[in-house]
């Protein structure tokens, strides 16, 4: 109700928000600080995560974003639960040395994985994230791919395959 036409549930990855067990996926465009403040006052230990810019808004949608505003994906999750913690736990469960693991992403929330792996690739479109320069100053294991979105992912995998030759 706070942002009519600016925020809705997000059926990400064709699976749908109804099948999520721990996090809630949303899409639209709202001020992160206001969303975090609302969650902080609700009395639950929840966190607001920016999951990156959207390249299109699939239908059906209730969004009425201003012209030229692509929208972003967001996650609401229990505080302390993030992608970095998930990757670290996965490595622990399957017996992978985190120093030999790689993560790739384009969102601010994806950058948390850099602390849990030996190598992190930021897909080129992630350079638009606020604070990304400060992230690179503190993460010497992070690299930028050539190409945006899927092209960036493919570029990173091609680089790895070439390095293995």
Write out residues in the chain with pLDDT < 70, as ranges. Answer: 12-19
Confidence at residue 165, expressed as pLDDT on a 0 to 100 scale = 79
3-state DSSP assignment of residue 59: coil
Closest CA to 112 of 94, 95, 129, 93: 129
Cis before residue 60, ω within 30 degrees of 0?
A: yes
- From first CA to last CA, the distance across the chain in angstroms is 55
| pTM confidence score | 0.80
Do residues 121 and 156 touch, judged by C-beta distance below 8 A?
A: yes
Instruction: Quote the Cα angle for 4-70-139, to 5°.
Output: 115
Which helix (H) or strand (E) segment is 142 a member of?
A: strand 142-144
Place of tokens 């996965």: 90
Q: CA–CA separation, 6 vs 74, rounded Å?
A: 12
Rounded Cα distance, 107 and 2, in Å? 24
pLDDT at 13: 59
Contact 17, 11 (CB under 8 A): yes
User: Could you tell me how many helices (H) and strands (E) the chain has, helices first?
Assistant: 4, 7
């Amino acid at each position: 109700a706070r942002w009519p036409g600016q925020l809705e549930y997000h059926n990400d990855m064709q699976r749908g928000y109804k099948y999520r067990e721990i996090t809630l996926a949303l899409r639209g465009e709202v001020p992160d600080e206001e969303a975090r403040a609302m969650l902080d006052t609700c009395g639950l230990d929840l966190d607001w995560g920016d999951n990156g810019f959207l390249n299109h808004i699939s239908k059906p949608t209730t969004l009425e974003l201003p012209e030229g505003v692509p929208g972003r994906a967001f996650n609401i999750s229990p505080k302390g639960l993030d992608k970095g913690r998930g990757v670290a736990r996965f490595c622990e469960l399957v017996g992978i040395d985190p120093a030999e693991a790689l993560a790739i992403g384009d969102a601010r929330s994806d950058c948390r994985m850099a602390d849990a792996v030996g190598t992190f690739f930021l897909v080129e479109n992630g350079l638009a994230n606020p604070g990304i320069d400060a992230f690179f100053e503190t993460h010497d294991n992070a690299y930028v791919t050539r190409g945006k979105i899927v092209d960036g992912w493919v570029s990173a995998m091609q680089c790895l395959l070439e390095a293995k030759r």
